[in-house]
Structure 1
Amino acid sequence: MKTLLLAATALMAATTATAQTKSPWPMDYQAKPVEAQLAKVRQGVANGPFRAEWASLQKFQVPEWFRDAKFGIFIHWGVYSVPAFANEWYSRNMYVPGNAAYEHHLKTYGPQSKFGYKDFIPQFRAERFDPAAWMRLFGEAGAKYVIPVAEHCDGFAMYASDFTKWDAADMGPKRDVTGEIAKAARAAGLHFGLSSHRAEHWWWYHKGRSFPSDVSDPRYAGLYGPAAPTGLPADAPDAWPDSDLLQNWGPPDRPFLNDWMARTSELIDKYRPELIYFDWWTSSPLFEPLMRDTAAYYYNRSAGWGAPGIIAYKGSQFAEGSAMFDLERGKMDALKLTPWQSDTSVSIKSWGYTKNDEYRTPKSLTADMIDIVSKNGNLLLNVGPKADGTIPEEIATVLRGMGGWLKVNGEAIYGTRPFKYFGEGPTKSGHIRQAGQFTEKNVSAFTPADIRFTTKGDTLYVLGLERPADGAVLVKTLFAGTPYLDAPIADIELLGTGAVKWQQTAKGLSVTLPAVSGDTMPYALKVRFRKA
């Protein structure tokens, strides 16, 4: 009992501080509802199999459904899809003098003091939003789980929140978007999770205080929030949109942290997600106690409703083994013994919908998925719907292309586990260190020599990331007498076609595929073995 009480100490102190501490920056902060929610969190932390201690949280295990699923859909959709300019950071960048979004905003909408980000909300009507239609498309793509961003850094919640009126249920669409997606996903047999980027809201709009804008108007504090002068640590990657974030690191205050915990636990309670993905700024040191409390609360609550949850993170805010590591627009370069996830987007320039974006191809994303799965990972692939709720046809075409491949070759992906070695070939396709975030643009195109492996029971799958035009395949790892195989090969078939000619030599496993012309998708070979 003493241990459980100690585990909740941080939250107890936080609640006491709530009534006594006033944020130096205006924020839509309701002390009594937040305190009531924190009391629920304290109780949840104290009651259950997990304690808010890293040693206890490291008993976390990734559920088998996730390991079997392999492929999920991420959704970035919000008010930023109305201006649809540059990327989903428009809400921030429109207040950064010198930024392209700032200049575009002045030219298109006028001064930020007259037309601010809040003024896009009435235009965010989602009049053609049909979550069931979305799920049909995701099902066609072969996805097995769906993760919408419940709140992006802009401070506009895409769900029915009890802690702010600046949400999709009260403004804009006037619909509980996250709740509707959750209901439609589960009805379609898809697993449901969600993502929160709320932590970044602490500093998101702070440049809007450096010149006349509506960010400084207290009437809109609920949307623009603290707008505190802070940014990233000095070792942050170069990929962030502007360099001023690399200076003025500063911690969030107690009211903001309490509000973050209240909103995060609210998402858990209302929507029962099977996976929660936290964005990067929760790695700020002051979030560390909250990370432990959140994990204990979520793991205990999800265990109680019979669907143990997963926390995905991409920084250093969780101890190894207490949650699942994620790489944003990047991959591992080797097999990882514990399950992990890579998230990327169909669109190249932005996560949210923007005009004149560029898009990945079904082939490149399918090859990435194979590479990731062979290394014990899952692919979480993002789509950015338009403001009216429709998914751009360019994105739908890519998803259907991947789904067509999975209908034929899915047995080599779904429900598989890694082989003794992930694969072979000359192309480096990721980075094993955390620095692998944002590295996909550095990856070269795969070659016919790039081969990956997966297994299911006694079956081995050999997947080629680039199909040779002449049909000649050589798998060097599977040479005659290789120690990687426990039994002799009985037969090999090309999924979707049938049996193929093969021979094991000292140089490797030689397979002859039907010759092809033009650009082709990856292929999958099914290898069976002789019974003892």
Structure 2
Amino acid sequence: MKTRLIAALCALTAMTAPALAQQASPWPMAYKAAPVEAQLAKVKQGVNEGPFRPDWDSLRGFKTPAWFQDAKFGIFIHWGVYSVPAYANEWYSRNMYVPGNDAYNHHVKTYGPQNKFGYKDFIPMFKAEKFDPAAWVKLFQNAGARYVVPVAEHCDGFAMYQSSFTKWDAADMGPKRDVTGEIAKAARASGLHFGLSSHRAEHWWWYHKGRTYDSDVNDPKYAGLYGPAAPTGLPADKPDNWPDSDLLQNWSPPNKEFLNDWMARTSELIDKYQPELIYFDWWTSSPLFEPLMRDTAAYYYNRSAEWKAPGIIAYKGSQFAEGSAMFDLERGKSDALKLTPWQSDTSVSIKSWGYAQNDSYRTPKSLIADLIDIVSKNGNLLLNVGPRADGTIPQEIATVLQGMGAWLKVNGEAIYGTRPFLYFGEGPTKSGHVRQVGQFTEKNVTSFTREDIRFTTKDGHLYALGLERPADGAVLVKTLYAGTPYLDRQIDRIELLGSGAVTWQQTAKGLSITLPQSGADAMPYALRISFKK
């Protein structure tokens, strides 16, 4: 459904943007014209200095750096003011202003009406008094992660970094710390790569429902947090097949001031934190963002070339030309091997990206199976955690990360630094959907079978990784049958990582392997296959 909404919005913007712009007058932003213009001048200079230009032909010169292809596993962090109410999910900041929404009813019952207690009033409660970035990074390292990507600004408009373009940031309010900067420093000090994510584009319409009744969104004093809160902009000639959605019925294209502010904030993040990866959320897919996407890519690629640390842009929609950035699948996977590196992002928590009370959580086994499946298809897994408002990571999440790390300590050589085999794997279980590019196709837990096997390669070895270990130890790798065209050398030795050599036989039916017997809920396994010289 979300993909359909995005496509419909893009189509509407392309066809009716001028009419919508005339109908809609968004709530005034706290727009700092002078510093924004100064930053835009810097961007204009930067897009014309360096190896890249702001056109798609030039930007197709983007190459995914080797560190990313080697890393395979990163940590995503959704942390912000929404972790204070910790109700339902990270959309609380919007949903609490939508009459009839469960979060709206919960808010009124728990905190009072929105004109007396608004989202802004959670900020002083967001103290982050136990936030220890070094401890976070240690946990992530123990989990086996090789890069860290915090959300620098979510759709709620509260920047989790020290910004020159708003006072509504974590350095001036709430924690009164440059959260993004501290995570960057801790990550790099420990040898992890650092990226960041921006969801600022969605902020254009995020709080608009709060303008339809008596709420604090209507108070000009808080325009820096709630603005623009774009009001309804539905055209009179709405298509008959228009999705029945609050988002679509109350949406208008962003104006020049908002786009300029977005560009200034995005380039500020690039300059200030020099991320090795930038992740953009959905709404930059609007055609009105297209020139900004080209400018952002050229500026970022040119700047990162100066730092001699080529940057990566991860995107989920259609806002970048193929080959100019790296494609990402949200809560989904590809069901085929991709020739270029890609990324899948999902969360340890099932119901929410940010911390929410009474959430459910994935298991280490299910996430390791996903990691193997993704890596075999030339992808990376970016796994999200949602810390509490005080800065602690829930024990349920820490336990999952520790379980993943224990597996990777034994089997990591079949994951890190690997490259795809000629064929990603075999087995009956499908993951993702090629036609729908896998967005939101994730199930909470995918049930793999003993026949689901994936392949990776490194240093002349072939690795066969089973997603479900058979209790009786009998494995048959059908792809590697005697005479298979996928092998150009004879097998010499097969070892179970963490255990040692295993017995095997290559027949017309496949490669038959005998593993030590295991328990019913054993973790996935990895086999190192060596060849005769």
Same fold (TM over 0.5): yes
The Cα of 1:432 is off from its aligned counterpart by 2.3
Measured in 2, the distance between the counterparts of 1:332 and 1:40 equals: 38
Measured in 1, the distance between the counterparts of 2:201 and 2:187 equals: 26
1:508 aligns with 2:510: yes
1:387 aligns with 2:395: no
Cα gap change, 1:444/1:400 in structure 2, threshold over 3 Å: closer, same or farther?
Answer: closer
Tell me, yes or no, if the aligned pair for 1:230 and 1:245 is still in contact at 8 Å: no
**Residue matched to 2:48:** 46
Tell me, yes or no, if the aligned pair for 1:331 and 1:432 is still in contact at 8 Å: no
Measured in 2, the distance between the counterparts of 1:382 and 1:334 equals: 23
Measured in 2, the distance between the counterparts of 1:61 and 1:140 equals: 29
The Cα of 1:294 is off from its aligned counterpart by 0.2
**Residue matched to 2:18:** none
**Residue matched to 1:289:** 291
Measured in 1, the distance between the counterparts of 2:305 and 2:517 equals: 52
Structure 1 SS opposite 2:75: strand
The Cα of 1:237 is off from its aligned counterpart by 13
The Cα of 1:517 is off from its aligned counterpart by 1.9
Cα gap change, 1:442/1:86 in structure 2, threshold over 3 Å: closer, same or farther?
Answer: closer
> Counterparts of 1:287-326 in structure 2 under 5 Å?
287-326=289-328
> Counterparts of 1:266-281 in structure 2 under 5 Å?
266-281=268-283
Letter in 1 for 2:168: W
Letter in 2 for 1:522: P
Measured in 2, the distance between the counterparts of 1:298 and 1:208 equals: 35
Letter in 2 for 1:504: Q
Letter in 2 for 1:417: R
Cα gap change, 1:336/1:38 in structure 2, threshold over 3 Å: closer, same or farther?
Answer: same
The Cα of 1:395 is off from its aligned counterpart by 0.1
Give the TM-score, by structure 1 length. 0.93
> Counterparts of 1:83-232 in structure 2 under 5 Å?
83-229=85-231
Cα gap change, 1:501/1:325 in structure 2, threshold over 3 Å: closer, same or farther?
Answer: same
Measured in 2, the distance between the counterparts of 1:530 and 1:151 equals: 53
**Residue matched to 1:473:** 475
Measured in 2, the distance between the counterparts of 1:277 and 1:177 equals: 17
Tell me, yes or no, if the aligned pair for 1:503 and 1:509 is still in contact at 8 Å: yes
The Cα of 1:26 is off from its aligned counterpart by 1.2
**Residue-by-residue CA offset, 1:433-491 (whole Å, 9 max, x unaligned):** 44521110287400000000000021000000000010000000000000000100000
**Residue matched to 1:15:** none
Measured in 2, the distance between the counterparts of 1:289 and 1:385 equals: 35
Letter in 1 for 2:28: P
Cα gap change, 1:236/1:99 in structure 2, threshold over 3 Å: closer, same or farther?
Answer: farther
Alignment equivalent of 2:433, drawn from 423, 427, 431: 431
Letter in 1 for 2:227: G
Measured in 1, the distance between the counterparts of 2:383 and 2:240 equals: 27
Letter in 1 for 2:185: K
Structure 1: 4+ residue segments shifted above 6 A: 231-238
Alignment equivalent of 2:343, drawn from 341, 344, 352: 341
Structure 2 SS opposite 1:419: strand
The Cα of 1:516 is off from its aligned counterpart by 1.1
Letter in 1 for 2:475: V
**Residue matched to 1:529:** 531
Letter in 1 for 2:230: A
Identity within the alignment, %: 83
Alignment equivalent of 1:417, drawn from 410, 416, 419: 419
Cα gap change, 1:299/1:434 in structure 2, threshold over 3 Å: closer, same or farther?
Answer: farther
The Cα of 1:502 is off from its aligned counterpart by 0.2
Measured in 1, the distance between the counterparts of 2:84 and 2:388 equals: 8
**Residue-by-residue CA offset, 1:58-110 (whole Å, 9 max, x unaligned):** 00000000000000000000000000000000000000011000000000000
**Residue matched to 1:372:** 374
Measured in 2, the distance between the counterparts of 1:460 and 1:231 equals: 56
Which consecutive residues of structure 2, in runs of 5 or more, have no partner in the other structure?
Answer: 1-23
Tell me, yes or no, if the aligned pair for 1:74 and 1:382 is still in contact at 8 Å: yes
Structure 2 SS opposite 1:509: strand
Once superposed, what is the RMSD of the aligned Cα atoms?
1.8
The Cα of 1:193 is off from its aligned counterpart by 0.2
Cα gap change, 1:443/1:407 in structure 2, threshold over 3 Å: closer, same or farther?
Answer: closer
Measured in 1, the distance between the counterparts of 2:433 and 2:87 equals: 31
Measured in 2, the distance between the counterparts of 1:182 and 1:63 equals: 19
**Residue-by-residue CA offset, 1:509-529 (whole Å, 9 max, x unaligned):** 000000112311000000000
**Residue matched to 2:458:** 456
Cα gap change, 1:378/1:465 in structure 2, threshold over 3 Å: closer, same or farther?
Answer: same
Tell me, yes or no, if the aligned pair for 2:329 and 2:437 is still in contact at 8 Å: no
Tell me, yes or no, if the aligned pair for 1:23 and 1:255 is still in contact at 8 Å: no
Letter in 2 for 1:163: F
**Residue matched to 1:400:** 402
Cα gap change, 1:330/1:230 in structure 2, threshold over 3 Å: closer, same or farther?
Answer: farther
The total of aligned residue pairs comes to 507
Give the TM-score, by structure 2 length. 0.93
The Cα of 1:499 is off from its aligned counterpart by 0.3
The Cα of 1:331 is off from its aligned counterpart by 0.1
Measured in 2, the distance between the counterparts of 1:365 and 1:282 equals: 29
Tell me, yes or no, if the aligned pair for 1:231 and 1:245 is still in contact at 8 Å: no
Measured in 2, the distance between the counterparts of 1:491 and 1:230 equals: 67
Cα gap change, 1:248/1:211 in structure 2, threshold over 3 Å: closer, same or farther?
Answer: closer
Tell me, yes or no, if the aligned pair for 2:466 and 2:524 is still in contact at 8 Å: yes
**Residue matched to 1:251:** 253
**Residue-by-residue CA offset, 1:32-76 (whole Å, 9 max, x unaligned):** 000000000000001110000000000000000000000000000
Structure 1 SS opposite 2:362: coil
Structure 2 SS opposite 1:299: helix
**Residue matched to 1:486:** 488
